[in-house]
Amino acid sequence: MGRELEYFFAALRFFTRLPVPAWVGHSQEQLDKASRYFPLVGVLVGMIGAAVSTALALRLPLSLAVIAGIAATLLATGAFHEDGFADMVDGFGGGWEKSRVLEIMKDSRIGSFGAIAIALMLLAKYSALMEIGAGGNLIGLGSALVAGHALSRFASTTLIYALEYVREDETSKSKPLARRLSLGELALAGLFGLAPCFLLATPQALAGIALAAVITLLAARHFLRRIGGYTGDCLGAAQQMSELAFYVGVLCV
């Protein structure tokens, strides 16, 4: 149990800016095992966003509360996944050959494709959450945030299980997590990723899961066709796209 706690804290330290106990330490083994707890980290990030949004919505307009909730999640993660999404859009939008796509994604500067994409992504998530919380449905809003963040990180974890990591650069920030997951590790990640979805009504949960699964599958096929696998930026992009897809699926019911 103590080792598993270390693996969880390693995931929390890698994927967020939240503090972890000093006794956790650093080791390659922790990073190798951290991916299974990626969705559980999403639960915590979603809870932060839900707490901020629902608390502020009791005193402020819903629009401001939703913006504050999104901002809280960005602060908690350091916009880790949003940055990956923007880099992926820049790379796939600006390069045709695999080497050029990887080169663009590696560039720390954001291009016009990435800037436009991240602006539209944040606007779309804001609009979807506004609709979910309309009419004072704060429980639904909070539940959707927790579930969306958890499920979307499970979606990214499935790419680690199913695809090959394509960067050969040992300095890549996602290289430590590129080890293939076992089926048991994937099942544990799935438990953490899927269970929070049923904080919502079952038809909403199933619709959100289904749409997120479709988007993840399409993204995986596109990554495989263009570069032969995934990078850390691809994981961030999958998380962002499947999170939005989950919210849209909830709204479809």
Token pair 């960067």: residue:
167
Amino acid at 141: L
Beta bridge partners of 230: 165
Sequential DSSP letters for 156-190: HHHHHHHS-B----TT-TTGGG-SPPPHHHHHHHH
Both tokens of 252, joined, read: 């479809």
Chain mean pLDDT for the chain? 92
Token pair 């909830």: residue:
250
Domain ranges, ordered by start, for the chain: 39-252
What are 132-160's pLDDT values in tens digits?
Answer: 999 999 999 999 999 999 999 999 999 99
pLDDT tops 70 at residue 1: no
pLDDT tops 90 at residue 27: no
Give the count of alpha carbons within 13 A of 175, CB side only: 7
Phi first, then psi: what are they for 165, rounded to 5°?
-80, 130
What are 73-87's pLDDT values in tens digits?
Answer: 999 999 999 999 999
**Would you mind telling me the total number of residues written for the chain in this entry?**
253
pLDDT tops 60 at residue 94: yes
Both tokens of 19, joined, read: 């503090």
Give residue 202's pLDDT band: very low, low, confident or very high (50, 70, 90): very high
